């Protein structure tokens, strides 16, 4: 008699028939998002719902709110039967993957390119925020929703007083004419010829660079080692990218900084008061990497002083519980971690997770192991 292996689907799945029919190959436990680590560990004890699971289908928010699994003590409390944690995400900074390896648990992720194209989708969001921040679009959008007249909206943004506390432009009697060439009394510049610095030139960073190229911007990047002409050509990247071997140098050179770095201890608060002050006055910042890359208090201070003009944040510290001060500002374009949040990616990523679980449970090393 063949018995189906038991897996737990943590945090839910989308509603795809293709996924549900594949889950029938397993004894699948639908496990809701636990509120606390204590709740999770209790459910791992003998008799608990997770007691005998061999695989964990782990949706992105499954363990995010409770703070991930980062210590050996925590990981020791997972079921002894567990062989694979398959993440339905590219990033894995919620998990101490080395400690999982030590316990013999394989962790797999969803690669950012084929089959899901999730990295391309994150890059589309980065491009959206890049243009929005360079052209200071949210300031005009906020003003337009308030003034309800397109010329007044532009006049107010150009000539009104910027309020550091709210990040909005105050009203008052508009006078004279504005072409739209000012925002909050600072220049509104075209994208063309601006220096855009991409921090992190992995698959996502490269996809961002390919999208930026037609805008005529000057593209800088920071990476441990410079890409050769052959490597640039192989990735279909422009040959005139400007390399920086240090993050500080990239900040100093960039009218806009795009963060495409992974999270974790190495990059914690890499954008802080010191590095923000290295940037040219009136620069902008886009973050599609991880919220932890930015010290948000320092960013808010820099926005208030207009050292930084605009920020586009698809990720925030402490997601899903976001600093209330980030809301309602016209100088912050705030997205709820849209990244690759599409039907296309959900389907591809979920099928990929099942492929990874099957591979490990059949004795393989995992298709996309990260530890």
Q: Which of 65, 227, 278, 361 binds a second copy (CB under 8 A)?
A: 65
Asked if residue 214 binds a second copy (CB under 8 A), the reply is: yes
Radius of gyration of the chain (CA): 23
Asked if residue 301 binds a second copy (CB under 8 A), the reply is: no
Q: Which of 3, 17, 47, 148 binds a second copy (CB under 8 A)?
A: 148
Contact by Cβ (8 Å): 25, 3: no
Q: Are strands 27-31 and 55-59 parallel, antiparallel or unpaired?
A: unpaired
- Tokens 């491009």 found at: 127
**Identified catalytic residue from 141, 218, 301, 319:** 319
Asked if residue 38 binds a second copy (CB under 8 A), the reply is: no
Asked if residue 249 binds a second copy (CB under 8 A), the reply is: no
CA 131 from centre of chain? 17
The nearer residue to a second copy, 173 or 324, going by C-beta atoms, is 324
Asked if residue 42 binds a second copy (CB under 8 A), the reply is: no
Q: Active site includes 290? A: yes
Asked if residue 150 binds a second copy (CB under 8 A), the reply is: yes
- Tokens 């201070």 found at: 301
Secondary structure, 3-state, 334-347: ECCCCCCCCHHHHH
As given in the structure block, the two tokens for residue 257 are: 């900084």
Q: Active site includes 25? A: no
Site for a second copy in 7-26 (CB under 8 A): 11-14
The nearer residue to a second copy, 106 or 259, going by C-beta atoms, is 259
**Identified catalytic residue from 155, 290, 329, 368:** 290
- Tokens 């640039």 found at: 232
State in Å, rounded, how far the first CA of the chain is from the last one.
34
Alpha-carbon span 170 to 160, nearest angstrom:
6
Alpha-carbon span 54 to 80, nearest angstrom:
9
Q: Which helix (H) or strand (E) holds 92?
A: none
Asked if residue 290 binds a second copy (CB under 8 A), the reply is: no
Question: Min. distance of Cβ 214 from a second copy in angstroms?
Answer: 5
- From 50-58, 247-255, 296-304, 335-343, give the range in contact with a second copy by CB under 8 A: 335-343
Q: Is the dihedral of CA 111, 112, 113, 118 positive or negative?
A: positive
Query: Would you call the peptide bond into 71 cis, given omega within 30 degrees of 0 as the criterion?
Result: no
Site map (CB under 8 A) of a second copy, residues 342-371, x = contact: xxxxxx------------------------
- From 133-141, 241-249, 251-259, 361-369, give the range in contact with a second copy by CB under 8 A: 133-141
The nearer residue to a second copy, 203 or 275, going by C-beta atoms, is 203
The nearer residue to a second copy, 5 or 174, going by C-beta atoms, is 174
- From 130-138, 253-261, 269-277, 293-301, give the range in contact with a second copy by CB under 8 A: 130-138
Q: Which of 48, 68, 115, 180 binds a second copy (CB under 8 A)?
A: 180
Asked if residue 135 binds a second copy (CB under 8 A), the reply is: yes
Name the nearest CA neighbour of 256 among 136, 121, 125.
136
Contact by Cβ (8 Å): 369, 106: yes
The catalytic residues are 290, 319, 337
């Amino acid at each position: 008699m063949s018995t189906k292996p038991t897996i737990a689907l943590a945090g839910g799945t989308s509603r795809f028939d293709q996924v549900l029919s594949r889950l029938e190959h397993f004894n699948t436990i639908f496990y809701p998002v636990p509120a606390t680590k204590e709740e999770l560990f209790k459910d791992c004890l003998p008799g608990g719902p997770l007691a005998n699971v061999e695989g964990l289908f782990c949706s992105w928010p499954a363990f995010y709110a409770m703070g991930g699994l980062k210590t050996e003590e925590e990981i020791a409390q997972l079921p002894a039967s567990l062989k694979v944690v398959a993440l339905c995400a590219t990033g894995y900074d919620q998990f101490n993957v080395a400690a999982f390896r030590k316990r013999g648990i394989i962790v797999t992720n969803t690669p950012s390119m084929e089959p899901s194209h999730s990295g391309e989708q994150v890059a589309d969001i980065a491009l959206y925020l890049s243009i929005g921040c360079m052209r200071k679009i949210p300031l005009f959008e906020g003003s337009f929703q308030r003034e309800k007249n397109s010329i007044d909206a532009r006049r107010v943004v150009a000539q009104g007083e910027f309020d550091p506390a709210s990040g909005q432009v105050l009203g008052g009697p508009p006078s004279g004419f504005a072409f739209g060439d000012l925002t909050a009394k600072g220049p509104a510049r075209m994208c063309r010829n601006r220096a855009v610095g991409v921090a992190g030139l992995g698959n996502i960073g490269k996809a961002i660079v390919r999208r930026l190229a037609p805008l005529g911007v000057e593209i800088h990047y920071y990476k441990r080692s410079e890409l050769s002409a052959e490597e640039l050509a192989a990735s279909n990247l422009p040959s005139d990218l400007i390399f920086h071997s240090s993050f500080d140098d990239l900040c100093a050179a960039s009218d806009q900084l795009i963060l495409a770095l992974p999270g974790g201890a190495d990059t914690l608060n890499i954008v802080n008061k010191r590095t923000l002050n290295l940037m040219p006055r009136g620069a902008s910042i886009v973050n599609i990497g991880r919220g932890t890359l930015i010290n948000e208090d320092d960013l808010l201070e820099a926005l208030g002083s207009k050292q930084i003009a605009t920020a586009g944040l698809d990720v925030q510290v402490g997601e899903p519980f976001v600093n209330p001060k980030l809301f309602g500002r016209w100088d912050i374009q705030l997205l709820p971690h849209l990244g690759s949040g599409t039907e296309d990616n959900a389907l591809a990523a979920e099928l990929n997770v099942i492929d990874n679980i099957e591979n490990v449970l059949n004795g393989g090393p995992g298709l996309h192991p990260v530890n």
